[in-house]
A and B are shown apart, each in its own frame.
Chain A
Amino acid sequence: MAGELIRMEHIHKFYGRVHALDDVNFVVREREIVGLLGDNGAGKSTLIKVLSGAVPISSGAIYVHGRKVDIRRTSDAIAQGIETIYQDSALVPQLSIARNLFLGREPLRAPHFLNRMDQAAMDEVARRLLRQVGITKDIPPSIPVSALSGGERQAVAIARAMYFDSELIILDEPTNNLGVAETQGVLRFVRAARDSGHSCIFIAHNIHHVFQVVDRIVVMRHGKIVADDIDPRHTTIEAVEQVITGMSDAELGTAAP
């Protein structure tokens, strides 16, 4: 079995008096795609926000490769190799593909005090990455992201995470509002990411999409993890739906230790 990449232990998160995460224990292994499921308000988004540094935990511990880390800001998560691709908000529509790819880590031309971006280098890498994630259309890296389709935007975001060697890529509803062909494209990009050594947390309301791509399913309800080792190859969508809605815990999942 692959080693552990992320371990979250006894995580609690309070928003005022709301107990959004209640003693959550969650593990992501290396080269694994984990499907995180749950109804609205189950705590999925909060868990992802905690892991991506968007909000700090109230108590608990997070380990990366067995080493305890302090994730309080987005930059902390990025430094730990955790990249989050939020639904519809991963990219800046007005910026070009190349500038989006390198946003926050723009390469500079010498002399560096002039702060001048190395546009040629960014364009070159962007072209290569777009081919790597399977975009065969000849899309110039200088065009704004607003001109891309939803699937292409997800591809750009995933390509970015792969390029910067993020060990864990968190995809929040990556297939929302996408057509059939585009959804399949995104699922292909996710598998490509895993095959090249990355782990993913895949959140989607559409369980069919989750079943097509993940290695393991984790279910949350009322801020707790109620099943954390569901193998999609050995269960049915209906059974997982019963766990999500609380009609059945026992048959499928065991609460996390």
Chain B
Amino acid sequence: MARVVLKLGDDISTDIIYPGRFMATVLPTETPQYAFADFPEFNARLKSGQIPPGSVVVAGKNFGCGSSREQAASTLKGHELVIVARNFARIFLQNAINLGLRLVVCPEIEAEEGDELEILPDKIINRTSGKVFKVEPLPRARQAIIDAGGLIPYTRQRLLEKVAARKRA
């Protein structure tokens, strides 16, 4: 079971998730401090450890639109948040998968802050409202990356295969 800790609307841009003025900070170990920096109260709760890993942010359409900044994914990954949205913008979705941030595409999701969600592979059960919502699979093109635990281990694996193939040839 996972609790909804933040509810957002449509078109949440990467400028809202990780404001541009913090872009000089790049390392995944350092970006989590600026997550949702322009929501000072929520940011303070994240930083003080009041939000347990696995907590859910619920959003509408086009979550993560805008800039390709990977900080927007690493900042959320740093807090092990789960993002449930009606859909995601392409680059953000890919960055999230590459870094192992958990995203759930749920086109009809209805949930309020404080609701308890049970997230299953094919559906979300809102235990507070009793409603059930269908989950759409992530792009199949990305499955190999998810299975490898992210793009860095996947690339490493592919690189070693390439080197081995070259040696054989």
Binding partners A and B: no
